[in-house]
Amino acid sequence: MVRLIRFFFLCLVKLICFPLYRFEYRWLSDENFDQFEDVRLLVFLNHTSLWEPIFVGGVPLHILWRLSGDLLAPGADITLNDRAIVGKIYHGLFPGLVPISRNRDESWKNFMGLVDEESLVAILPEGRMKRRSGLDKHGNTMTVRGGVADILKKKQTGKVMFVYSGGLHHIQAPGDKLPGVFKTIRANLEIMDIAHYKKSLPFEFGHDYYEEVVSDMQHRLETHLPPEVKS
């Protein structure tokens, strides 16, 4: 029953988005939403807004059904716990959001204890939100952190899906009061085997697994995004 309620609300988000936004999704791989049942890890790159659940407006219903029951994801504790309305909305849409701090502390260990071979895990590897300046709220350059490498280490089979967001600053940037409507939302998408992905990492002399994963994710963040929508 709880899953049906979450599925209903995700469908409602999709229905609301239909007349308000245009979705332009481009596949960089031969595999697409038809193979989503095999996905065990979702990597969302280019975190720009708390409105990113709006991306579900451009995906098929069978994806929403799986997300409504299977998704496990870390979320910033300041968003899920300290922002009452936003936190309740997020928890209402997605079943497995686990509050974590921005440090590799007990909260991260608790989350990783829930990750196994079969779980569907989603992560935003930058760990914080990009402002219109292209920097985080402290003025630092946006870079990928190592949590995604921890998750990949627990995954040997299945597929990883990369979502390269075109950004949502034209919808609502951090600090904006109201979201914009009648806009285009863009993303490049890619699915590949987790085992194949790991084999593709160039383990150069002096580099370890974590460094290679972070380096690859950073490269994807810098090169695989669609053009940013300005209006």
117-166: per-residue pLDDT in tens?
A: 999 999 999 988 999 999 999 999 999 999 999 999 999 999 999 999 99
Residue 231 lies in a domain: no
Residue 143 lies in a domain: yes
Maximum distance among all alpha carbons in the chain?
52
As for how many domains the chain has, the answer is 1
Residue 228 lies in a domain: no
Average pLDDT on 67-79 reads 90
Q: Which residue segment(s) compose the domain that 211 sits in?
A: 2-223
Residue 229 lies in a domain: no
- The two structure tokens encoding residue 17: 């988005």
Give tens-digit pLDDT for 17-63: 999 999 999 999 999 999 999 999 999 999 999 899 999 999 999 99
- pTM equals 0.93
The residues near 51 (Cβ < 8 Å, ≥ 6 apart) are 168, 171, 172, 179
Q: What is the CATH number of the domain that holds 194?
A: 3.40.1130
Residue 97 lies in a domain: yes
Residue 168 lies in a domain: yes
